[in-house]
Amino acid sequence: MKRMYLFLLAALVLASCGSEPTLQKYFVEKTEDKNFVAVDVSPSILNLDPATLNAEQKAALQSFEKMNILAFKAAEDSTLYNAERSKVKALLKDEKYQELMKFGSAGASGSLSFVGDAEHIDEFILFMAQKETGFAVVRILGKDMNPTGVMTLMSLLPQANLDQGQLKPLQDMLGKKQ
């Protein structure tokens, strides 16, 4: 009987380790790919003085845990660009990602999605693509974020003293000539 329990436990563990692709797995796989640049950004990038923030601003800042950015710089090979962009778009069709909006203009497109419910958002996903420059996926991770808090964080950006060092890999990628 004990062996049966161990067998059932092992089967349950293996079944819970799904092999289906996820956005998080995509980030991990592409981190080492030479065609991508991955950057993890902490809330400290904002360099805000907590003494100058009101309670709502402090709460919004505390709900923000980190941001993961994965960027693919367009190359002469549009086949690779199209294939990778299609993979990301397919991942974002998963039912766990709720699309807030799509946007676009001549040659550029994007979407904003989230994971969670409207008042307890765990992750925002911003996907932007432009054939000439490439695409980027930005995961904004937090705890019990909400749209109002995100808008509050956005309103703090003008007074933030951004730590450019955290964005250096992206700046290097965008500055390189092909």
Q: Which sequence spans correspond to the domains of the chain?
A: 20-175
Burial of 122 (0-12, 13-18, 19+ CB in 10 A): middle
Q: What percent of the chain has pLDDT over 70?
A: 85
pLDDT value of residue 141: 92
Closest CA to 149 of 75, 71, 41, 57: 57
Tokens 């592409």 belong to which residue?
30
Strand (E) positions, 11-97? 36-41, 64-73
Cα separation values, 144 from 24, 65, 119, Å: 19, 10, 7
Our measurement of the distance from residue 109's CA atom to the centroid of its chain's CA atoms, rounded to an integer in Å, reads 16
pLDDT value of residue 9: 42
Using pLDDT thresholds of 50, 70 and 90, give the confidence band for residue 151. Answer: confident
Please check the confidence at residue 156 and state whether its pLDDT lies above 90. Answer: no
Please check the confidence at residue 100 and state whether its pLDDT lies above 70. Answer: yes
Under DSSP, the state recorded for 118 is: T
Cβ atoms of 119 and 146 within 8 Å: the answer is: yes
Closest CA to 123 of 98, 101, 140, 137: 140
9-62 pLDDT per residue, tens? 444 444 445 567 899 999 999 998 989 999 898 888 888 888 899 999 998 888
Please check the confidence at residue 7 and state whether its pLDDT lies above 60. Answer: no
Rg value, the chain, Cα: 19
Closest CA to 125 of 138, 143, 116, 110: 138
